[in-house]
Amino acid sequence: ALIDGYHLIKNARKVKSKVALMLESDMLYYRLTAHNNLKFFCKLYRVPNYEKKIYDMTKLLGIENWLDQYVEHLSSGMKMKLALARTLLLERDILFLDEPTLGLDVKTVNLFIDIIKNIESTIIFTSHDLSVVEKLCDRIAFINEGKIIKIGTQDEIKNLAESEIKIEITLTSKKKKLISELYSHDFITDITEIRENCVIIRLKERVYYKDLLTLLSKYEITKIKEVETSLEDLFLKTY
């Protein structure tokens, strides 16, 4: 296997100088302070001017006031932020991030996304949170039992999906009657009620769109729109 053109075994030292890793486990020393953890890794990997970089990075992540705390006393969210700081401080060309948003609150996840978007490195990002994947990744791979079963840009993966489409329908009344009628047609594969007078349906193929409109003409429809297929939809179809 090659990483950035270097053989993983034959050029192991060169490969190690290119990559940094953040695992699902935080890989921190719990009996050291947050600051000493970062200082240790910076010195180990010979990061220049590391004290200023530690201050800047921890301020960016909002953990600068926790540097004197022992890691064992930090919350899980703080530990993940500290682990991310350690990984980014190494200033590597290639970053491997394994489930880096696991257990984080929404505010911290959004902060993480903003930071990662501005990093000028190649990032290999693994996650079960497909909403984060959708916001971050240029290329995506679905893996099942160790094998890649789909790979490409988001658009390419969506084009590989089945022709089934989702339609959101909002009507003034008679929702139950509409649902009953929709279920009688085999070109409707699924119906989901999302609000009082709103449903999302799945059409087997786009060719049935005209048939759907004919059916809906008997009802007072206030809005109809196609719902963009999400990565989660594609993932569920794949598996």
- Please determine, for residue 238, whether its predicted confidence score (pLDDT) is greater than 70: no
- The count of residues in the chain is 239
- Tell me if 74 sits within 8 A of 65, measured CB to CB: no
CATH number at residue 61: 3.40.50.300
CATH number at residue 172: 3.30.70.920
- Same structural domain for residues 64 and 6? yes
Quick one: pLDDT at residue 176? 87
Calpha distance 175→192 (Å, rounded) = 12
The mean per-residue pLDDT over the stretch 36-62 comes to 95
- Same structural domain for residues 115 and 182? no
Angle between helices 34-44 and 76-89 (to 10 degrees): 20
Quick one: pLDDT at residue 239? 63
100 located within any domain = yes
Calpha distance 43→89 (Å, rounded) = 11
- Same structural domain for residues 16 and 73? yes
The mean per-residue pLDDT over the stretch 187-216 comes to 88
Per-residue pLDDT tens for 98-151?
A: 988 887 888 888 988 999 998 889 999 999 888 899 999 999 999 888 888 889
Percent of the chain residues topping a pLDDT of 90: 51
- Please determine, for residue 236, whether its predicted confidence score (pLDDT) is greater than 90: no
- Same structural domain for residues 42 and 101? yes
Fill in the DSSP letter of residue 115: H
153 located within any domain = no
Structural domain that includes position 169: 163-238
Per-residue pLDDT tens for 143-174?
A: 888 888 889 998 888 776 656 788 999 988 88
CA distances (Å), 228 to each of 31, 182, 198, in order? Answer: 48, 21, 17
Which of 136, 107, 23, 115 has its CA nearest to residue 60?
Answer: 115
Strands, E assignment, the chain: 2-3, 6-7, 19-22, 94-98, 122-126, 139-144, 147-153, 165-171, 188-195, 198-203, 221-227
Given pLDDT bands bounded at 50, 70 and 90, which one contains residue 30? very high
How many domains is the chain partitioned into structurally? Answer: 2
- Same structural domain for residues 6 and 68? yes
Lowest-pLDDT choice from 74-78, 161-165, 170-174, 234-238: 161-165
- Same structural domain for residues 191 and 111? no
- Same structural domain for residues 81 and 9? yes
Domain boundary among 137, 153, 185: 137
- Same structural domain for residues 101 and 177? no
Residue 164 has a CB neighbour count (10 Å cut-off) of: 15
Per-residue pLDDT tens for 174-190?
A: 888 889 998 899 899 88
Calpha distance 1→29 (Å, rounded) = 31
Quick one: pLDDT at residue 36? 98
- Computed over every residue of the chain, the mean pLDDT equals 89
pTM for this prediction: 0.72
Given pLDDT bands bounded at 50, 70 and 90, which one contains residue 230? confident
Lowest-pLDDT choice from 70-74, 137-141, 192-196, 235-239: 235-239
145 located within any domain = no
- Same structural domain for residues 113 and 34? yes
Calpha distance 140→151 (Å, rounded) = 6
- Same structural domain for residues 133 and 179? no
- Tell me if 165 sits within 8 A of 226, measured CB to CB: yes
- Same structural domain for residues 130 and 191? no
Given pLDDT bands bounded at 50, 70 and 90, which one contains residue 1? confident
Calpha distance 116→124 (Å, rounded) = 11
Quick one: pLDDT at residue 12? 94
Calpha distance 65→178 (Å, rounded) = 57
